[in-house]
Amino acid sequence: MKNVAIIGSGSWGMALAICLANNGNNVKVWSFCEEERDLINNEKKCKFLPEAQIPENIECTTSFEEAIKGADFILHVTPSKFTRETFNKYKQYVGHIPVIICSKGFEKDTLQTLDEVIKDELPDAKVGVLTGPSHAEEVALGVPTVLVVASEHEEIFEMIQDAFMSNKMRIYTSKDVKGLELGGALKNIIAFCAGVAAGIGLGDNSFAALVTRGLGEISRLGVALGGKQETFYGLSGLGDLIVTCLSEHSRNRKAGKLIGQGKTLEEAKKEVGMVIESIDNIDVAYELGKRNNIYMPIIETVYNVIYNGLEPEKAVEELMTKSKKSEQ
């Protein structure tokens, strides 16, 4: 049994909390919202996971100190754009407690991955990344799920596996922190593109092409930024790409579908009602590709859809009529 602090009470934070609590761990969740805290503590409900029942061994608080005190490890589960701001508010309580990043994305201003943000603010922090193909809605209901944890600190592997693993959850390990971070951040953008494709009525042939060619772009940029090629064909790359591109649970796919159907970006954000990491990170991926001279036609095209008013149907035409190339 572990004592776990979870920073963030959104759908993914609470799904992880439920998984850990059902496995016998004591869980304290930090929320910035008193209304959410009271709903979790008093009614044992989460507004983002209406079908899930909150176990008794989950406690929610609005105090960082209270959430982290006595924890064996911390799961950081806030939107990527709030990572530095939130971490700065609780880093004084971290000490030697490992911080496991469960969010996916980049910091927009610095183009840093989230592990880099944490290390930037607390250089001695023991950092890990937990990611993989997973919908919060399914994890919260105990649907069998497989994730992967990466860290430079091997003691984190056993800690995370002991806390999570059951007949409902399996955890693999990796030392490729950078690869896991990049796979998780970049796949959201391809999922957004898959949604756009669905919104304009494209079919299975198109989705298959998008996933495979999108994976090529992810791996090219990921390797250039320090990830390992094989990582992008594993759980955090191909696995997460499949589940996010093809499922109606995916908020990134849903947002893209709304854009494809003619909604504005603001209308799509409002209808989804949760943070859409792909939209926050498309320009970061575009800039990283340019800086590293990486060929990424899909990401460049969706950048033009979002920021330069390119019509989705025209975007497909541009991709389909590019110059002849080898698949490799």
DSSP per-residue letters across 20-71: HHHTT-EEEEE-S-HHHHHIIIII---TT-TTPPPPTTEEEES-HHHHHTT-
Can you say whether residue 288 is alpha, beta or left, with left for phi > 0 and alpha for psi between -120 and 50 degrees? alpha
Tokens encoding 57:
């061994």
| Candidate list 81, 104, 126, 187, residue with the active-site label | 187
Dist CA 296 CA 318 (whole Å) = 13
Query: Distance from first CA to last CA of the chain, Å, rounded?
Result: 48
The answer to whether residue 187 is catalytic is yes
Q: Are 67 and 8 in contact (CB under 8 A)?
A: no
Find tokens 């934070």 and name the residue: 13
Residues with active-site annotation: 187
